[in-house]
A and B are shown apart, each in its own frame.
Chain A
């Protein structure tokens, strides 16, 4: 027996699908199980002999409508996944930081050029402090930039809160281990929850360290110890000779956490406690 999108052939008898509409055709197609070992590719003439289509034009038109319908449906399903939104939110957050930093650097350079007494030595000129300095500037553009940077900063805090909230629901275990924003960045780099859940711990450990990884593979430089997970405080705050171990352990636990998040979708208290203990142990803390 051979099953095709327009009907079934059993021996010499062909049973065409009663409909030419994309929706019922698509539903029928979802039920089909195809064994590639015994598959013979179809030819449209079978559909004509079957009485399903009178001409090649009609055959292609119905098939095309069906394929476009199926593709659009699947696209709509993906676009509704909240994880896709989370990915875009965290990418926006990172882009905001990058843009704000560049703008601030440029504005401070300009400010310094007009004020010979300005120096960044012995004090941190960042964030609110930098905006205050700029807002007292005599240069109208810098004043305006300072105001806009304030707005950007508000947007950033709001977005960051939203990310933490959404990640807490979508990635309850990963979020508990590394915080919502870092968990969301991992998700964004992995390209989706199902991908992240299928990654081995070693990949999670170096995800986001692409340059270092490829330079290692190509020319044998030392391998990267950590990628995005470096941003987590327990990794970057660990003693230098412990960082590799901490990131290895953390990545191992994240790989498990991602699987629980994907397949169960709930926080697992017992797992989280033992994972936290293991990570602390790796960092040399009792």
Chain B
């Protein structure tokens, strides 16, 4: 990852969402992006320029635009109408973003389009985030990494975030993904955890 004086940046065409520019590079704000927060909290899974990425929950394409600055190709899945308009606008100006207007709980609808990827990033507001990760792990190549942003409040507001994450880890047991690391995104995002998983080779 590229750091300038302790600030995470990416190199690409700016002006996507009014982001600040530091010495010609786009500042990647950890308060707006869970993935940026993951790097600020010491995450060490780098996005290198050869990577193909499957991004679930692409939303308005804010984080996607930064990922696309680093990665070779990004397959960006989003299911909601209003954010999709913005995502398409971002994809129109970045030739390595493949926008998919689809539901991440139903990977069969986009399976014939997505190639094998080395990195899966998931940031979806859904009660069954483990199930979505499991279903989409099929796209990960052997040894591939999945970074899951667990939105505990979308899973169950009435329980403690700690318990929700434990349950999510338990739900991933027996799937092709093995949880290697767990990390909380305080103070950037409340009640959000990152699970770094590896696909069995």
Inter-chain CA distance A78–B107, complex, in Å, is 21
Q: How many residues of A contact B (CB 8 A)?
A: 30
CB-CB under 8 A from B92, the residues of chain A are 68
> Quick one: given A41-B139, A43-B115, A43-B116, are A68 and B91 in contact (CB under 8 Å)?
yes
The answer to whether A74 touches B101, judged by C-beta atoms less than 8 angstroms apart, is yes
- The proximity string for A residues 23-49 relative to B, scoring 1 for CB distances below 8 Å and 0 otherwise, is 000000100101110010111100000
The answer to whether A281 has its CB under 8 Å from any CB of chain B is: no
- The proximity string for B residues 86-110 relative to A, scoring 1 for CB distances below 8 Å and 0 otherwise, is 0010011001111111000001110
Inter-chain CA distance A3–B111, complex, in Å, is 10
Chain B stretch 134-153: residues in CB contact (< 8 A) with chain A: 135, 138-139, 141
Q: How many A-B residue pairs have CB under 8 A?
A: 76
**How near does chain B come to A145, taking the closest CB pair, in angstroms?**
33
Among A36, A61, A79, which residue has its beta carbon within 8 angstroms of that of B108? Answer: A36
> Quick one: given A68-B88, A75-B81, A75-B88, are A60 and B95 in contact (CB under 8 Å)?
yes
The answer to whether B112 touches A32, judged by C-beta atoms less than 8 angstroms apart, is yes
CB-CB under 8 A from B88, the residues of chain A are 68, 71-72, 75
The answer to whether A41 touches B115, judged by C-beta atoms less than 8 angstroms apart, is yes
The answer to whether B201 has its CB under 8 Å from any CB of chain A is: no
- The proximity string for A residues 139-172 relative to B, scoring 1 for CB distances below 8 Å and 0 otherwise, is 0000000000000000000000000000000000
The answer to whether A5 touches B85, judged by C-beta atoms less than 8 angstroms apart, is no
Sample (17) of A-B pairs whose CB atoms are under 8 Å apart: A3-B112, A5-B113, A29-B113, A32-B112, A34-B109, A34-B111, A36-B108, A36-B135, A42-B116, A43-B115, A60-B73, A67-B113, A68-B92, A68-B99, A72-B88, A75-B85, A218-B157
